[in-house]
Structure 1
Amino acid sequence: MEPVVPYRATSPGTALIDRLRDETRDLHEGLERDLDWRRRMSSVDGHRGLLARWWGFHAVFEPLIEAHPPFPGLGPRRKLHLLEADLRAIGMPDGGIQALPRIRRQSLPNDWAGLVGAMYVLEGSTLGGQVIARYVRTVLAGTVAHGASAYYEAYSRTHVGPMWRAFQERLSTEVPHGSHDEVIAGARRTFAALRAWLAPDDP
């Protein structure tokens, strides 16, 4: 088991969503910087490679969520099937998809509060996914079916805002105050795992 990344505590009365935003900012910004998605996704090979890494994350993360659901009713938030649709659109057969590398389960949280933090990371990424989807549709629409952007579009422009607000509401109403530190530790752990897993192989 990898150690939980330490975090900077804020005042005890701060709302959980604000603490999550503040106390994961360094790792969030590091992930965005290292991901280098615009350069990588300017070619079909780069787009395929990043989708494959996302698949390798969700193939481990979603069964973990199913086994230890942070909140009931998370079915509509699953995205593994969207990644598989995109990879097929780019020409990868099902056998090739299932053979892709997967992130180590031990690098992710596996307790209730930690998985709440992990869900914060993944749900927040859907907001930025709308920007990525537009980029993919524009740059790659002529070379792959529909730009292969189903994963990044996720809930669509119509629903991404309401889905994010609903998740924030659950954070504020269903997470006990005594679990806030563990939720933040889980979010930081997930950001760190994603940063290591998604970073490009080339400099």
Structure 2
Amino acid sequence: MAEWRTRLRTATAPLHEQVDAAYAGFGFDQPGGYRRFLRAHSRVLGSLEVALEQAGVTALLDDWPSRVRRQALATDLQTLGDPLPVPLPALQLPDPASCWGAAYVLEGSRLGGRVLARRLHLIVPRAPTRYLEHGDVGRLWPGFLERLEAAAHPLGWPAMLAAAEATFELFITAAALEARSSVPEPAESGPL
């Protein structure tokens, strides 16, 4: 089956729109908006990267270490003086197809990072953006798609789709948790 990217994008479009809407609520020009955005991502990213590693993602993506972003995210939160929030439970990824589905969402999320970093730097030029600017998007995304198209198998489609949907749903849940979080904002935080 060719065009797994198109098939995944089409099937998950409603969830992708829900994620975009949920994270749009973290206005970077609002006090604590960027911190809450990072915290919401942190609730999912670290545990999902670890789950992918435990499921053997390095056999699918030999450049996985260059794709890992959890330390960049933790460093940005630390720079803002914010502790890592409690992560959501990791997904169960029992097979390569589910790894491809979850990785599709993670790798796709990298695409908007550069745009968000530019937008944030217009508001707060010195904002920490290691997470948003992590990796060479021009190389990592095409490389991911090439491997996905070469390795994915039609019999794995249900598991791939289920993992992609579950990953989007984790990001939606994390945004909702962070939106109603009672973490106090530092007095000097400004828009961050």
Common topology (TM > 0.5): yes
Contact map agreement 2:116 2:132 (CA 8 A) in 1: yes
What's the CA shift for 1:40? 2.7
Contact map agreement 1:109 1:118 (CA 8 A) in 2: no
- Alignment match, 1:23: 11
- Alignment match, 2:47: 60
Give the Cα separation in 1 of the matches to 2:13 and 2:76: 30
Contact map agreement 1:126 1:152 (CA 8 A) in 2: yes
Contact map agreement 1:109 1:189 (CA 8 A) in 2: no
Structure 2 residue 148 is the aligned partner of structure 1 residue 161: no
Structure 2 residue 156 is the aligned partner of structure 1 residue 176: no
Give the Cα separation in 1 of the matches to 2:92 and 2:175: 17
Normalising by the residue count of structure 1, what TM-score does the alignment of the two structures yield?
Answer: 0.79
SS of the residue corresponding to residue 192 of structure 1 reads: helix
What's the CA shift for 1:53? 2.0
- Alignment match, 1:123: 107
Contact map agreement 2:2 2:149 (CA 8 A) in 1: no
> Which structure shows the higher helix fraction?
1
Give the Cα separation in 1 of the matches to 2:2 and 2:45: 31
- Alignment match, 2:180: 201
Give the Cα separation in 2 of the matches to 1:180 and 1:48: 36
Contact map agreement 2:16 2:168 (CA 8 A) in 1: yes
Assess, with a 3 A threshold, how the Cα gap between structure 1 residues 43 and 110 changes in structure 2: closer, same or farther: same
Segments of structure 2 that go 5 or more residues without pairing to the other structure are 182-192
Give the count of matched residue pairs. 175
- Alignment match, 1:79: 69
1:138 is aligned with what amino acid?
A: L
Normalising by the residue count of structure 2, what TM-score does the alignment of the two structures yield?
Answer: 0.83
Indicate the percent of aligned positions where both proteins have the same amino acid.
Answer: 27
Contact map agreement 1:109 1:190 (CA 8 A) in 2: no
Structure 2 residue 29 is the aligned partner of structure 1 residue 50: no
- Alignment match, 1:138: 122
Question: Is the deviation greater in 117-126 or in 177-186?
Answer: 177-186
Q: For 1:191, which of 168, 174, 191 is the aligned residue?
A: 168
SS of the residue corresponding to residue 132 of structure 2 reads: helix
Give the Cα separation in 2 of the matches to 1:33 and 1:54: 14
Q: For 1:104, which of 89, 95, 99 is the aligned residue?
A: 89
Segments of structure 1 that go 5 or more residues without pairing to the other structure are 1-12
How well do the aligned residues superpose, as a CA RMSD in angstroms?
A: 1.8
1:139 is aligned with what amino acid?
A: I
Contact map agreement 1:136 1:148 (CA 8 A) in 2: no
2:153 is aligned with what amino acid?
A: P
What's the CA shift for 1:102? 0.8
1:154 is aligned with what amino acid?
A: H
Contact map agreement 1:55 1:83 (CA 8 A) in 2: yes
